[in-house]
Chains A and B, each alone.
Chain A
Amino acid sequence: GPKVLQIPSHQIIDMGQMVTLNCDPVSNHLYFYWYKQILGQQMEFLVNFYNGKVMEKSKLFKDQFSVERPDGSYFTLKIQPTALEDSAVYFCASSLAAGDSQNTLYFGAGTRLSVL
C-alpha cells in the first residue's frame, strides 16, 4: 500500500538544540499531518498542513514548533529549541484529501525523539 517514510527513525539530542524531523509523504497526497505519541499513551494531533499553510494546530504545537514543505520535498517538523518534554515518538501522516473517503490517513513508522 501507500507508504510514508520518516527519517531518521531515532534521534537523540541535547536539550536546547534544534532538531528537524523529516517526512516523505505519499507522492500524490495533498494533506500532511504531525502527531505526537508519548510512550504508552495515545497519539495526539499536533498540526495539519495543506497548500503550503498550517490549517489547524493543537495546543501541543508550541511556538518552538514549525512545519514546512519547501518545493514539494520533505514535510518537516522543526523544534527550536528542544525541551525535555518534547521526548516522544512523532508520527507523520498524509492523505489525498479531507472531508471524504479520500482522507484516509497513512502514517509513517515514526521518529523517536529523545531529548537529554
Chain B
Amino acid sequence: GDQVKQSPSALSLQEGTNSALRCNFSIATTTVQWFLQNPRGSLMNLFYLVPGTKENGRLKSTFNSKESYSTLHIRDAQLEDSGTYFCAAEDDSGYNKLTFGKGTVLLVSP
C-alpha cells in the first residue's frame, strides 16, 4: 500500500472558507515537507516540519510523529491557493530522501 496516504485526493473550496489536508504515514518519518505544485508544474516548498506546528500567514501545518500524520490547514482560501498540494516524508537514512503522497488537487472558486 501507499507509504504516504494523502486525503482528500481532490477538494473544491469557495473563496474565504477554511479546510484541512491530511497525510498518514506508514513508514518511519523523521521530518515532513509540504509543497504546492502550480498548474505549470513548479513546486514551491511551504513547510519543513519536525514534530510540532508551524504557521505562515493563512497556512498552518502540524506533524505528529507519535501518531504518524501531518495536517495542513488553509484559512480564508484565496484563488491563488489553487494547485496540487503534496506532503513528503523523510525517512531516517539521513540523506533527505523524500517519499511523496499522491497529492490533493485543490480548486478555489469565487
- In chain A, positions 56-102 with a C-beta closer than 8 Å to chain B are 56, 58, 89, 91, 95, 98-99, 101
B101 within 8 A of A: yes
Q: Mark A43-60, 1 if CB is under 8 A from B, else 0.
A: 111001010000110100
Counting residue pairs across A and B whose Cβ atoms lie within 8 Å, the total is 62
Q: Which of chain A's residues have a CB closer than 8 A to the CB of B98? A: 35, 43, 45, 105
B100 within 8 A of A: yes
Residue of B nearest to A31 (CB): B96
Q: Mark B80-110, 1 if CB is under 8 A from A, else 0.
A: 0000001010100111111111110000000
Q: What's the nearest-Cβ distance from chain B to residue A68, in Å?
A: 18
Q: Which of chain B's residues have a CB closer than 8 A to the CB of A45? A: 97-99
Whether B96 lies near A95 (C-beta < 8 A) is yes
Whether B41 lies near A42 (C-beta < 8 A) is no
Residue of A nearest to B40 (CB): A109
**A42 touches which of B44, B94, B100 (Cβ 8 Å):** B100
Contact size range, A = 20 to 34
Residue of B nearest to A102 (CB): B48
Whether A33 lies near B45 (C-beta < 8 A) is no
B50 within 8 A of A: yes
Residue of A nearest to B99 (CB): A45
A42 to B48 alpha-carbon distance, docked (Å):
19
Q: Which of chain A's residues have a CB closer than 8 A to the CB of B100? A: 35, 42-44
Residue of B nearest to A50 (CB): B95
B13 within 8 A of A: no
B74 within 8 A of A: no
A27 within 8 A of B: no
B43 within 8 A of A: yes
A103 within 8 A of B: yes
A31 to B88 alpha-carbon distance, docked (Å):
17
11 interchain pairs, CB-CB under 8 A: A31-B96, A42-B101, A44-B100, A45-B99, A56-B97, A58-B97, A101-B48, A103-B31, A106-B45, A107-B35, A112-B41
